[in-house]
Amino acid sequence: MSSDAHHAQANKVGGIALVVGIIGILAAAFGLFQGWNAADARPFMGWLIGLGFWMSIAIGMTFLTLIWYVFYARWPVIIRRQCEHGMAAFPWLLLLFLPLLATLFHENPGLLWKWMSGLNELPGHGTVGEDAIYTWKQPYLNKEFFVARVVAIFGVFIIVTGLLRKWSFDTDKTGDIKNTTKAHALSAVGLFLCAIAMTLGAIDWFKSLEYHWFSTMYGVWFFAACIRAALATLIIVTVILAAKGYLKGILKQAHRYDISCMMLAFTIFWAYISFSQYFLIYSANIPEETFWYNLREMNFDGTTNSWWFVSMGLIFGHFLTPFLCLLWYKTKVVVWRTVGISIWILSFHLLDLYWNIVPGKLVNPDSHAAGYLVRQFSVNWVDIASIIGIGGVCIWAFCRSTKKAEPIPIRDPNINVSINYAE
């Protein structure tokens, strides 16, 4: 396909995605407005789910690019360009994060993150401001430092990915190998910076929703989830681009096979991290840690709640099914099977975000002796509108970026190795 036809197709797809995205964002905004007036955090959780889903894909693509540069990987050069386009979403994701920061100006600043208001009631033991655990964590959990961290987190990803994209795109024009050398050097440092930024983001935005909980493995869980989501997305994107002609004859079975092998590896890694965290907390049996899992298994009276079924879905759907499927060679090389398992993984990745974000204690003094109810599993229209709306903007950013560079890094020093790569 010619460059002009390529750009025309990208304009068309990007335009449609932007229109759909704006419609989804406007619909979600109406839901957020209702949640604001009703002092209901659930619509904002839906926005956080949508943001977390698309952000995790962009973060995963960033880490893959950094890792490939650090290890001088030559086979994924043609795939790396698609990651570079995916990174274009970060400035827009920062803009889309603003509705969550707006909750700080609500009459109850702790509408979403309840620790942001010292007046928020806690089940059975006063308010946040009187809570000993919050007092101990307050030097970190305060509004000013939280906002500063949001800016710093997005700043790290925007700067690192911006430089990687610039040097890669410049190489297409000049063929200067110094750009690759600079990208390699930045990646060695960028891995640590992005790891710290990603960990802080996962702790601040997801984990601190129940700020009493302690976990030293949460950042690693999110890293594994991001890489899985990015690999699954790359399979889908590259197969579509090959079918449309952009990567026809370039994307080989060997590329899909290696990406699928990485999906299998990170499926095992995700399960290892998730089980290890559960096993250690279960063994220690410390109330400040175990309650987080209790909320995802049972109601206060010991009856099974809806999250238990979600937990079983993650065990059998997010780990066991893709693990068994990806063990087979044909799943890694037959296009429809590879795409199918990628869609499956993305679907359960979304369910994993629900499992981490939505459960919580709803203060209800009249409910029973403990004074709280568990927020049950639900999928509402704000969730769907948020996922579609934010996704539309991210796809538009991807398509917009494709117009700035060739479909593959044509003058990268390792491009021939990647094009001719074989199993």
pLDDT digits over 198-239, tens only?
999 999 999 999 999 999 999 999 999 999 999 999 999 999
Query: Which among 226, 194, 221 is positioned nearest to 61, based on CA atoms?
Result: 226
Does 349 have pLDDT greater than 70? yes
Say if CB 200 and CB 156 are below 8 A apart: no
Residue 422 lies in a domain: no
Does 259 have pLDDT greater than 70? yes
Residue 263 lies in a domain: yes
What's the alpha-carbon Rg for the chain, to the nearest Å? 22
What pLDDT sits at residue 125?
A: 74
**Structural domain for 115, as ranges:** 3-415
Residue 421 lies in a domain: no
What pLDDT sits at residue 88?
A: 97
Residue 43 lies in a domain: yes
Residue 420 lies in a domain: no
Residue 190 lies in a domain: yes
Residue 293 lies in a domain: yes
Q: What domain count does the chain have?
A: 1
State the pLDDT confidence band at 366, using cuts at 50, 70 and 90.
low
pTM assigned to the model: 0.95
CA atoms within 13 A on the CB side of 60: 25
Give the model confidence (pLDDT) of 131-172 as tens digits.
Answer: 999 999 999 999 999 999 999 999 999 999 999 999 999 999
**Portion of the chain with pLDDT greater than 90, in percent:** 86
Of the chain, the end-to-end C-alpha distance in Å amounts to: 27
Give the model confidence (pLDDT) of 371-381 as tens digits.
Answer: 788 999 999 99
CA 394, 95, 200, 48 dihedral sign is: negative
Question: What are the phi and psi torsion angles at 411 (to 5°)?
Answer: -115, 15
Residue 328 lies in a domain: yes
CB burial class (10 A; 0-12, 13-18, 19+) of residue 89? buried
Count of C-beta atoms within a 10 Å radius of residue 85: 22
